Structure 1
Amino acid sequence: MKLIKACNNFIILLVEKYNGRFWYIVLFYGAPSVHMRASGFLDLEQWIDTCKLPFLIVGDFNQVDYQCDKLSASQQPIEGAEEFNLWKLRNELVDIPFKGPRFTWCNNRKGEKRVYERLDKAMGSKDWLSLFPDMGLKHYPIQISDHAPIEVDLNLTCMAGKRPFKLDAWALDFEECLEKKAEWNAKWDDFDRQLEHGINLACNGGGEEEYTRVNEELQAYTADAEKFWKQRAKIKWTVGGIPIQNSSLIG
Protein backbone atom coordinates (compact mmCIF):
# COMPACT_ATOMS: atom_id res chain seq x y z
CA MET A 1 0.00 0.00 0.00
CA LYS A 2 1.03 3.58 -0.63
CA LEU A 3 -0.27 6.60 1.24
CA ILE A 4 -1.78 9.09 -1.22
CA LYS A 5 -3.50 11.62 1.01
CA ALA A 6 -4.31 12.16 4.68
CA CYS A 7 -6.55 14.81 6.24
CA ASN A 8 -8.91 15.21 9.20
CA ASN A 9 -11.72 13.14 7.72
CA PHE A 10 -10.08 10.51 5.54
CA ILE A 11 -6.94 8.66 4.53
CA ILE A 12 -6.45 7.46 0.94
CA LEU A 13 -4.25 4.45 0.21
CA LEU A 14 -3.24 2.99 -3.15
CA VAL A 15 -3.52 -0.80 -3.27
CA GLU A 16 -2.12 -3.23 -5.84
CA LYS A 17 -4.20 -6.29 -6.56
CA TYR A 18 -2.44 -9.61 -7.13
CA ASN A 19 -3.05 -9.50 -10.88
CA GLY A 20 -1.46 -6.08 -11.20
CA ARG A 21 -4.67 -4.01 -11.02
CA PHE A 22 -4.53 -0.92 -8.83
CA TRP A 23 -7.32 0.55 -6.71
CA TYR A 24 -7.82 2.92 -3.79
CA ILE A 25 -9.15 2.33 -0.30
CA VAL A 26 -10.45 5.38 1.56
CA LEU A 27 -10.65 5.16 5.37
CA PHE A 28 -13.30 7.69 6.34
CA TYR A 29 -14.40 9.31 9.59
CA GLY A 30 -17.44 11.57 9.63
CA ALA A 31 -17.43 14.48 12.05
CA PRO A 32 -20.02 14.38 14.88
CA SER A 33 -21.77 17.61 13.81
CA VAL A 34 -23.78 17.75 10.58
CA HIS A 35 -22.10 20.96 9.41
CA MET A 36 -18.57 19.63 9.82
CA ARG A 37 -19.59 16.26 8.38
CA ALA A 38 -20.83 17.93 5.18
CA SER A 39 -17.46 19.62 4.77
CA GLY A 40 -15.70 16.25 4.92
CA PHE A 41 -18.02 14.76 2.31
CA LEU A 42 -17.37 17.75 0.02
CA ASP A 43 -13.59 17.35 0.36
CA LEU A 44 -13.85 13.68 -0.54
CA GLU A 45 -16.13 14.45 -3.49
CA GLN A 46 -13.49 16.75 -4.93
CA TRP A 47 -11.02 13.86 -4.87
CA ILE A 48 -13.59 11.46 -6.39
CA ASP A 49 -14.09 13.87 -9.32
CA THR A 50 -10.42 13.43 -10.25
CA CYS A 51 -10.11 9.71 -9.44
CA LYS A 52 -9.37 7.46 -12.41
CA LEU A 53 -9.16 4.12 -10.56
CA PRO A 54 -11.68 1.88 -8.72
CA PHE A 55 -12.07 2.79 -5.05
CA LEU A 56 -13.65 1.58 -1.82
CA ILE A 57 -14.71 3.86 1.05
CA VAL A 58 -15.07 2.28 4.49
CA GLY A 59 -15.34 3.65 8.02
CA ASP A 60 -17.48 5.46 10.59
CA PHE A 61 -19.58 7.94 8.61
CA ASN A 62 -21.41 9.19 11.71
CA GLN A 63 -24.50 9.44 9.51
CA VAL A 64 -27.64 7.33 9.33
CA ASP A 65 -29.00 6.81 5.81
CA TYR A 66 -32.59 5.77 6.48
CA GLN A 67 -35.05 5.53 9.37
CA CYS A 68 -34.72 1.72 9.40
CA ASP A 69 -31.03 2.17 10.30
CA LYS A 70 -31.90 3.79 13.62
CA LEU A 71 -33.71 2.38 16.66
CA SER A 72 -34.75 4.75 19.43
CA ALA A 73 -37.77 5.98 21.35
CA SER A 74 -37.73 9.14 19.25
CA GLN A 75 -39.14 9.07 15.71
CA GLN A 76 -37.78 12.45 14.67
CA PRO A 77 -36.46 12.89 11.11
CA ILE A 78 -32.77 11.99 10.73
CA GLU A 79 -30.72 15.13 10.36
CA GLY A 80 -28.38 15.07 7.37
CA ALA A 81 -29.82 11.89 5.83
CA GLU A 82 -31.21 13.50 2.67
CA GLU A 83 -27.96 15.35 1.95
CA PHE A 84 -25.94 12.18 2.57
CA ASN A 85 -28.01 10.09 0.16
CA LEU A 86 -27.82 12.81 -2.49
CA TRP A 87 -24.04 12.85 -2.03
CA LYS A 88 -23.91 9.09 -2.65
CA LEU A 89 -26.09 9.38 -5.76
CA ARG A 90 -24.08 12.28 -7.11
CA ASN A 91 -20.86 10.30 -6.79
CA GLU A 92 -22.44 7.04 -8.01
CA LEU A 93 -21.49 5.17 -4.85
CA VAL A 94 -22.90 1.69 -4.23
CA ASP A 95 -23.50 0.42 -0.67
CA ILE A 96 -21.76 -2.87 0.11
CA PRO A 97 -24.30 -5.46 1.35
CA PHE A 98 -23.69 -6.64 4.89
CA LYS A 99 -24.25 -9.71 7.05
CA GLY A 100 -24.68 -9.75 10.81
CA PRO A 101 -26.45 -7.38 13.23
CA ARG A 102 -28.04 -4.36 11.55
CA PHE A 103 -26.74 -1.74 13.97
CA THR A 104 -23.06 -0.92 14.48
CA TRP A 105 -23.29 1.72 17.23
CA CYS A 106 -25.04 2.07 20.57
CA ASN A 107 -24.95 5.01 22.99
CA ASN A 108 -24.91 2.47 25.88
CA ARG A 109 -27.65 4.26 27.78
CA LYS A 110 -30.57 2.42 29.35
CA GLY A 111 -34.29 2.37 28.85
CA GLU A 112 -35.85 4.91 26.49
CA LYS A 113 -32.55 6.78 26.23
CA ARG A 114 -30.83 3.89 24.45
CA VAL A 115 -30.16 4.42 20.73
CA TYR A 116 -28.91 1.98 18.08
CA GLU A 117 -27.66 3.20 14.68
CA ARG A 118 -25.85 1.85 11.63
CA LEU A 119 -23.00 4.33 11.32
CA ASP A 120 -20.15 2.09 10.13
CA LYS A 121 -20.44 1.03 6.50
CA ALA A 122 -18.66 0.53 3.21
CA MET A 123 -19.42 1.75 -0.29
CA GLY A 124 -17.58 1.47 -3.55
CA SER A 125 -17.43 2.80 -7.08
CA LYS A 126 -19.12 0.71 -9.76
CA ASP A 127 -15.80 -0.33 -11.27
CA TRP A 128 -14.55 -1.44 -7.83
CA LEU A 129 -17.57 -3.74 -7.46
CA SER A 130 -16.82 -5.12 -10.92
CA LEU A 131 -13.26 -5.79 -9.77
CA PHE A 132 -14.47 -7.69 -6.67
CA PRO A 133 -17.86 -9.24 -7.54
CA ASP A 134 -17.70 -11.72 -4.63
CA MET A 135 -17.00 -9.19 -1.88
CA GLY A 136 -19.17 -8.53 1.17
CA LEU A 137 -19.29 -6.70 4.51
CA LYS A 138 -19.51 -8.43 7.88
CA HIS A 139 -20.95 -6.72 10.97
CA TYR A 140 -19.80 -8.13 14.30
CA PRO A 141 -21.73 -7.50 17.55
CA ILE A 142 -21.01 -4.36 19.55
CA GLN A 143 -18.50 -5.46 22.18
CA ILE A 144 -16.07 -3.32 24.20
CA SER A 145 -16.41 -0.09 22.24
CA ASP A 146 -19.69 1.67 21.50
CA HIS A 147 -19.00 0.75 17.85
CA ALA A 148 -19.10 -2.74 16.37
CA PRO A 149 -16.14 -4.07 14.35
CA ILE A 150 -16.84 -4.39 10.64
CA GLU A 151 -14.87 -6.41 8.09
CA VAL A 152 -14.71 -6.08 4.32
CA ASP A 153 -14.13 -9.50 2.79
CA LEU A 154 -13.10 -9.53 -0.87
CA ASN A 155 -14.31 -13.13 -1.15
CA LEU A 156 -17.83 -13.53 0.16
CA THR A 157 -17.57 -17.33 0.14
CA CYS A 158 -14.99 -17.11 2.94
CA MET A 159 -17.21 -15.03 5.22
CA ALA A 160 -18.89 -18.03 6.81
CA GLY A 161 -15.65 -18.95 8.58
CA LYS A 162 -14.66 -17.76 12.01
CA ARG A 163 -12.76 -14.58 12.55
CA PRO A 164 -9.02 -15.37 12.56
CA PHE A 165 -7.23 -15.25 15.91
CA LYS A 166 -4.37 -12.74 15.87
CA LEU A 167 -1.53 -12.14 18.29
CA ASP A 168 0.65 -9.06 18.55
CA ALA A 169 4.38 -9.71 18.25
CA TRP A 170 4.97 -9.13 21.96
CA ALA A 171 2.60 -11.99 22.81
CA LEU A 172 4.90 -14.53 21.19
CA ASP A 173 7.20 -14.18 24.20
CA PHE A 174 4.44 -15.53 26.44
CA GLU A 175 3.86 -19.26 26.28
CA GLU A 176 0.58 -18.69 28.12
CA CYS A 177 -0.78 -16.70 25.16
CA LEU A 178 -0.31 -19.62 22.82
CA GLU A 179 -1.68 -22.08 25.37
CA LYS A 180 -4.84 -20.03 25.89
CA LYS A 181 -5.53 -19.42 22.19
CA ALA A 182 -8.28 -22.03 21.92
CA GLU A 183 -9.87 -20.92 25.20
CA TRP A 184 -9.98 -17.26 24.11
CA ASN A 185 -11.38 -18.15 20.70
CA ALA A 186 -14.20 -20.15 22.27
CA LYS A 187 -14.93 -17.45 24.85
CA TRP A 188 -15.09 -14.62 22.31
CA ASP A 189 -17.20 -16.70 19.91
CA ASP A 190 -19.63 -17.32 22.76
CA PHE A 191 -19.78 -13.61 23.63
CA ASP A 192 -20.35 -12.80 19.94
CA ARG A 193 -23.29 -15.18 19.74
CA GLN A 194 -24.88 -13.94 22.95
CA LEU A 195 -24.42 -10.26 22.07
CA GLU A 196 -25.91 -10.73 18.61
CA HIS A 197 -28.85 -12.57 20.14
CA GLY A 198 -29.32 -9.79 22.72
CA ILE A 199 -29.21 -7.05 20.09
CA ASN A 200 -31.73 -8.92 17.94
CA LEU A 201 -34.07 -9.27 20.91
CA ALA A 202 -33.80 -5.54 21.71
CA CYS A 203 -34.37 -4.55 18.08
CA ASN A 204 -37.52 -6.69 17.93
CA GLY A 205 -39.08 -5.20 21.04
CA GLY A 206 -37.91 -7.88 23.45
CA GLY A 207 -36.15 -5.49 25.83
CA GLU A 208 -32.47 -4.80 26.36
CA GLU A 209 -31.89 -6.90 29.48
CA GLU A 210 -30.14 -9.77 27.68
CA TYR A 211 -27.78 -7.48 25.74
CA THR A 212 -26.97 -5.48 28.90
CA ARG A 213 -26.27 -8.64 30.91
CA VAL A 214 -23.91 -10.12 28.34
CA ASN A 215 -22.18 -6.78 27.74
CA GLU A 216 -21.51 -6.39 31.47
CA GLU A 217 -20.10 -9.94 31.60
CA LEU A 218 -17.82 -9.12 28.67
CA GLN A 219 -16.61 -5.92 30.33
CA ALA A 220 -15.79 -7.83 33.51
CA TYR A 221 -14.04 -10.61 31.58
CA THR A 222 -11.81 -8.21 29.65
CA ALA A 223 -11.03 -6.18 32.78
CA ASP A 224 -9.89 -9.32 34.62
CA ALA A 225 -7.85 -10.45 31.61
CA GLU A 226 -6.19 -7.05 31.33
CA LYS A 227 -5.15 -7.12 34.99
CA PHE A 228 -3.76 -10.65 34.63
CA TRP A 229 -1.70 -9.92 31.52
CA LYS A 230 -0.38 -6.62 32.85
CA GLN A 231 0.92 -8.47 35.89
CA ARG A 232 2.43 -11.21 33.74
CA ALA A 233 4.06 -8.56 31.55
CA LYS A 234 5.59 -6.84 34.55
CA ILE A 235 7.08 -10.12 35.76
CA LYS A 236 8.40 -10.99 32.31
CA TRP A 237 9.97 -7.59 31.69
CA THR A 238 11.45 -7.34 35.18
CA VAL A 239 13.19 -10.68 34.70
CA GLY A 240 14.35 -9.63 31.24
CA GLY A 241 15.68 -6.32 32.48
CA ILE A 242 13.29 -4.19 30.37
CA PRO A 243 12.19 -0.94 32.07
CA ILE A 244 8.40 -1.00 32.56
CA GLN A 245 7.98 2.72 31.93
CA ASN A 246 9.32 2.34 28.38
CA SER A 247 6.59 -0.03 27.30
CA SER A 248 3.28 1.03 25.75
CA LEU A 249 1.52 -2.07 27.09
CA ILE A 250 1.51 -0.94 30.71
CA GLY A 251 -0.85 1.95 31.29
Structure 2
Amino acid sequence: MINTLIGEECNFFHVPSEGLSGGIVVLWKHKMADFNVLEASSQMVVGDLKVANKDTWRIATKYGSKDVYIRRNLWERLEQHMSKEIPMIIGGDFNCLLSKEEKKGGRNFMFSLGPKEMKSFISCNDLHEVTSIGPKYTWCNNKKGAERILEKLDRCIVNATAFNSSHQLLVRYLARIASDHNPILLNLLEFNPTIRKDIRF
Protein backbone atom coordinates (compact mmCIF):
# COMPACT_ATOMS: atom_id res chain seq x y z
CA MET A 1 0.00 0.00 0.00
CA ILE A 2 2.71 2.52 1.02
CA ASN A 3 4.89 1.53 -1.95
CA THR A 4 2.00 2.27 -4.30
CA LEU A 5 1.54 5.74 -2.81
CA ILE A 6 5.17 6.87 -2.63
CA GLY A 7 6.58 5.28 -5.78
CA GLU A 8 10.16 4.12 -6.20
CA GLU A 9 11.97 7.32 -5.19
CA CYS A 10 11.44 6.90 -1.45
CA ASN A 11 12.27 4.39 1.24
CA PHE A 12 10.14 4.20 4.34
CA PHE A 13 9.89 2.88 7.88
CA HIS A 14 6.59 2.54 9.67
CA VAL A 15 4.99 1.68 12.99
CA PRO A 16 1.54 0.16 12.34
CA SER A 17 -1.58 1.86 13.65
CA GLU A 18 -3.65 0.37 16.43
CA GLY A 19 -7.17 0.22 15.07
CA LEU A 20 -8.12 3.62 13.67
CA SER A 21 -5.55 5.61 15.66
CA GLY A 22 -1.80 5.93 15.92
CA GLY A 23 0.74 4.75 13.41
CA ILE A 24 3.89 6.53 12.22
CA VAL A 25 5.42 6.56 8.74
CA VAL A 26 8.86 8.03 8.00
CA LEU A 27 9.76 8.61 4.33
CA TRP A 28 13.03 9.68 2.74
CA LYS A 29 14.35 9.93 -0.83
CA HIS A 30 17.01 7.22 -1.04
CA LYS A 31 19.03 9.06 -3.69
CA MET A 32 19.37 12.11 -1.44
CA ALA A 33 19.61 10.68 2.07
CA ASP A 34 19.84 7.61 4.26
CA PHE A 35 17.83 7.13 7.44
CA ASN A 36 19.12 4.79 10.13
CA VAL A 37 16.42 3.89 12.68
CA LEU A 38 17.73 3.90 16.26
CA GLU A 39 14.50 3.12 18.12
CA ALA A 40 10.82 2.78 17.32
CA SER A 41 7.66 2.44 19.39
CA SER A 42 3.98 3.33 19.15
CA GLN A 43 4.92 6.88 20.28
CA MET A 44 8.05 7.61 18.26
CA VAL A 45 10.53 6.76 15.54
CA VAL A 46 14.06 8.05 16.21
CA GLY A 47 16.82 7.83 13.63
CA ASP A 48 19.85 9.53 12.11
CA LEU A 49 19.25 11.20 8.76
CA LYS A 50 22.41 11.42 6.69
CA VAL A 51 21.96 13.76 3.73
CA ALA A 52 24.38 13.13 0.85
CA ASN A 53 27.53 15.25 1.26
CA LYS A 54 25.94 17.00 4.25
CA ASP A 55 25.73 16.64 8.01
CA THR A 56 23.83 14.02 9.96
CA TRP A 57 20.68 15.13 11.81
CA ARG A 58 18.88 13.12 14.47
CA ILE A 59 15.16 13.08 13.76
CA ALA A 60 12.43 12.03 16.20
CA THR A 61 8.96 11.73 14.69
CA LYS A 62 6.45 11.40 17.49
CA TYR A 63 2.86 10.57 18.22
CA GLY A 64 2.45 11.16 21.96
CA SER A 65 -0.08 9.16 23.90
CA LYS A 66 -3.06 10.94 25.42
CA ASP A 67 -2.33 9.06 28.65
CA VAL A 68 0.12 11.07 30.77
CA TYR A 69 1.68 7.96 32.33
CA ILE A 70 2.26 6.28 28.96
CA ARG A 71 3.60 9.58 27.60
CA ARG A 72 6.11 9.71 30.47
CA ASN A 73 7.85 6.72 28.89
CA LEU A 74 8.19 8.78 25.69
CA TRP A 75 10.15 11.52 27.48
CA GLU A 76 12.36 8.91 29.16
CA ARG A 77 13.14 7.13 25.88
CA LEU A 78 13.79 10.38 23.97
CA GLU A 79 16.29 11.44 26.63
CA GLN A 80 18.36 8.36 25.80
CA HIS A 81 18.92 9.75 22.30
CA MET A 82 19.86 13.31 23.25
CA SER A 83 23.32 14.39 22.11
CA LYS A 84 25.16 17.70 22.19
CA GLU A 85 27.21 16.59 19.20
CA ILE A 86 24.35 16.02 16.72
CA PRO A 87 21.62 18.49 15.74
CA MET A 88 18.27 16.98 16.73
CA ILE A 89 14.72 17.69 15.64
CA ILE A 90 11.65 16.41 17.51
CA GLY A 91 8.39 16.95 15.67
CA GLY A 92 4.86 15.67 15.45
CA ASP A 93 1.78 15.29 17.62
CA PHE A 94 2.73 15.88 21.27
CA ASN A 95 -0.88 15.43 22.46
CA CYS A 96 -0.13 17.90 25.24
CA LEU A 97 -0.53 21.64 25.78
CA LEU A 98 1.85 23.95 27.61
CA SER A 99 -0.35 26.98 28.30
CA LYS A 100 -3.91 28.28 28.20
CA GLU A 101 -3.01 30.28 25.07
CA GLU A 102 -2.68 26.97 23.18
CA LYS A 103 -6.36 26.11 23.61
CA LYS A 104 -9.68 27.60 22.54
CA GLY A 105 -13.02 26.14 23.60
CA GLY A 106 -13.86 23.16 25.80
CA ARG A 107 -12.69 22.84 29.40
CA ASN A 108 -10.24 25.37 30.77
CA PHE A 109 -6.56 24.50 30.50
CA MET A 110 -4.91 23.26 33.70
CA PHE A 111 -1.15 23.12 34.27
CA SER A 112 -1.41 19.52 35.43
CA LEU A 113 1.05 16.63 35.53
CA GLY A 114 1.20 16.18 31.73
CA PRO A 115 2.18 19.77 30.88
CA LYS A 116 4.58 19.88 33.84
CA GLU A 117 6.43 16.77 32.65
CA MET A 118 6.59 18.01 29.07
CA LYS A 119 7.91 21.42 30.14
CA SER A 120 10.49 19.73 32.37
CA PHE A 121 11.62 17.53 29.47
CA ILE A 122 12.05 20.57 27.22
CA SER A 123 13.88 22.61 29.87
CA CYS A 124 16.19 19.85 31.14
CA ASN A 125 17.32 18.96 27.61
CA ASP A 126 17.82 22.58 26.46
CA LEU A 127 15.23 22.26 23.68
CA HIS A 128 13.79 25.20 21.76
CA GLU A 129 10.59 25.59 19.77
CA VAL A 130 11.13 26.56 16.14
CA THR A 131 9.64 29.85 14.95
CA SER A 132 6.40 29.10 13.12
CA ILE A 133 3.97 30.70 10.71
CA GLY A 134 0.43 29.65 9.86
CA PRO A 135 -2.57 28.73 12.03
CA LYS A 136 -2.19 29.26 15.77
CA TYR A 137 -3.96 25.98 16.56
CA THR A 138 -2.97 22.71 14.89
CA TRP A 139 -5.86 20.45 15.87
CA CYS A 140 -9.63 20.80 15.71
CA ASN A 141 -12.38 18.46 16.89
CA ASN A 142 -14.26 19.38 13.67
CA LYS A 143 -17.36 20.51 15.53
CA LYS A 144 -19.12 23.84 15.23
CA GLY A 145 -20.42 26.51 17.55
CA ALA A 146 -20.00 26.11 21.30
CA GLU A 147 -18.75 22.52 20.94
CA ARG A 148 -15.79 23.51 18.75
CA ILE A 149 -12.34 22.96 20.33
CA LEU A 150 -9.03 24.16 18.90
CA GLU A 151 -5.63 23.19 20.36
CA LYS A 152 -1.94 23.40 19.54
CA LEU A 153 -0.99 19.73 19.81
CA ASP A 154 1.62 19.64 17.04
CA ARG A 155 4.97 21.35 17.18
CA CYS A 156 8.62 21.11 16.28
CA ILE A 157 11.42 21.52 18.84
CA VAL A 158 15.18 21.30 18.38
CA ASN A 159 18.22 20.91 20.59
CA ALA A 160 20.75 23.71 21.12
CA THR A 161 23.08 22.25 18.48
CA ALA A 162 20.40 22.57 15.79
CA PHE A 163 19.19 25.90 17.16
CA ASN A 164 22.70 27.38 16.95
CA SER A 165 23.62 25.79 13.62
CA SER A 166 24.19 27.63 10.34
CA HIS A 167 20.62 26.82 9.30
CA GLN A 168 17.66 29.14 9.55
CA LEU A 169 14.78 27.04 10.88
CA LEU A 170 11.16 27.86 10.12
CA VAL A 171 8.00 25.81 10.68
CA ARG A 172 4.97 26.23 8.45
CA TYR A 173 1.64 24.85 9.64
CA LEU A 174 -0.18 23.83 6.48
CA ALA A 175 -3.93 23.63 5.91
CA ARG A 176 -5.94 20.72 7.30
CA ILE A 177 -7.42 18.67 4.46
CA ALA A 178 -8.12 15.01 5.28
CA SER A 179 -7.13 15.12 8.95
CA ASP A 180 -8.08 16.92 12.14
CA HIS A 181 -4.40 18.00 12.41
CA ASN A 182 -2.44 20.59 10.45
CA PRO A 183 0.64 19.07 8.76
CA ILE A 184 4.01 20.52 9.79
CA LEU A 185 6.59 21.60 7.23
CA LEU A 186 10.05 22.41 8.61
CA ASN A 187 12.28 24.49 6.33
CA LEU A 188 16.04 24.28 6.84
CA LEU A 189 17.67 27.20 5.08
CA GLU A 190 21.44 27.44 4.97
CA PHE A 191 22.77 30.98 5.19
CA ASN A 192 25.67 30.35 2.80
CA PRO A 193 25.10 28.94 0.30
CA THR A 194 21.31 29.26 0.24
CA ILE A 195 19.98 25.73 -0.09
CA ARG A 196 16.46 24.75 0.91
CA LYS A 197 15.63 21.38 2.45
CA ASP A 198 12.33 20.25 3.87
CA ILE A 199 11.51 17.78 6.63
CA ARG A 200 7.83 16.93 6.96
CA PHE A 201 6.06 15.54 10.02
The two structures share one fold, judged by TM-score above 0.5: yes
Partner of 2:131: 97
Closer, same or farther: CA 21–13 of 1 in aligned 2, 3 Å: same
CA drift at 1:150:
1.1
CA drift at 1:18:
4.9
Q: Work out the CA distance in 1 between the residues paired with 2:125 and 2:70.
A: 19
Q: Which structure has the larger Rg over C-alpha atoms?
A: 1
Letter in 1 for 2:93: D
Note the alpha carbon deviations across 1:109-140, whole angstroms, 9 max, x for none: 22222110111110011111222531200011
Report the secondary structure of 1:127's partner residue: helix
Closer, same or farther: CA 53–156 of 1 in aligned 2, 3 Å: closer
CA drift at 1:78:
4.5
Asked if 1:45 is matched to 2:79, the reply is yes
Structure 2 stretches lacking a partner, 5+ long: 1-34
CA contact (8 A) 1:106 1:147 kept: yes
Asked if 1:106 is matched to 2:140, the reply is yes
Aligned-pair identity (%) = 26
CA contact (8 A) 2:84 2:161 kept: no
Partner of 1:54: 87
Closer, same or farther: CA 132–101 of 1 in aligned 2, 3 Å: farther
Note the alpha carbon deviations across 1:171-210, whole angstroms, 9 max, x for none: xxxxxxxxxxxxxxxxxxxxxxxxxxxxxxxxxxxxxxxx
Superposed structure 1 runs of 4+ greater than 6 Å apart: none
CA contact (8 A) 2:140 2:149 kept: yes
Q: Work out the CA distance in 2 between the residues paired with 1:24 and 1:4.
A: 9
Q: How does 1:119-198 map to 2 (within 5 A)?
A: 119-155=153-189
Q: TM-score, normalised by structure 1?
A: 0.57
CA RMSD after TM alignment? 2.3
Closer, same or farther: CA 68–22 of 1 in aligned 2, 3 Å: same
Q: Work out the CA distance in 2 between the residues paired with 1:156 and 1:63.
A: 31
Q: Work out the CA distance in 2 between the residues paired with 1:134 and 1:154.
A: 6
CA drift at 1:28:
1.0
Asked if 1:87 is matched to 2:121, the reply is yes
Greater share of helix residues, 1 or 2?
A: 1
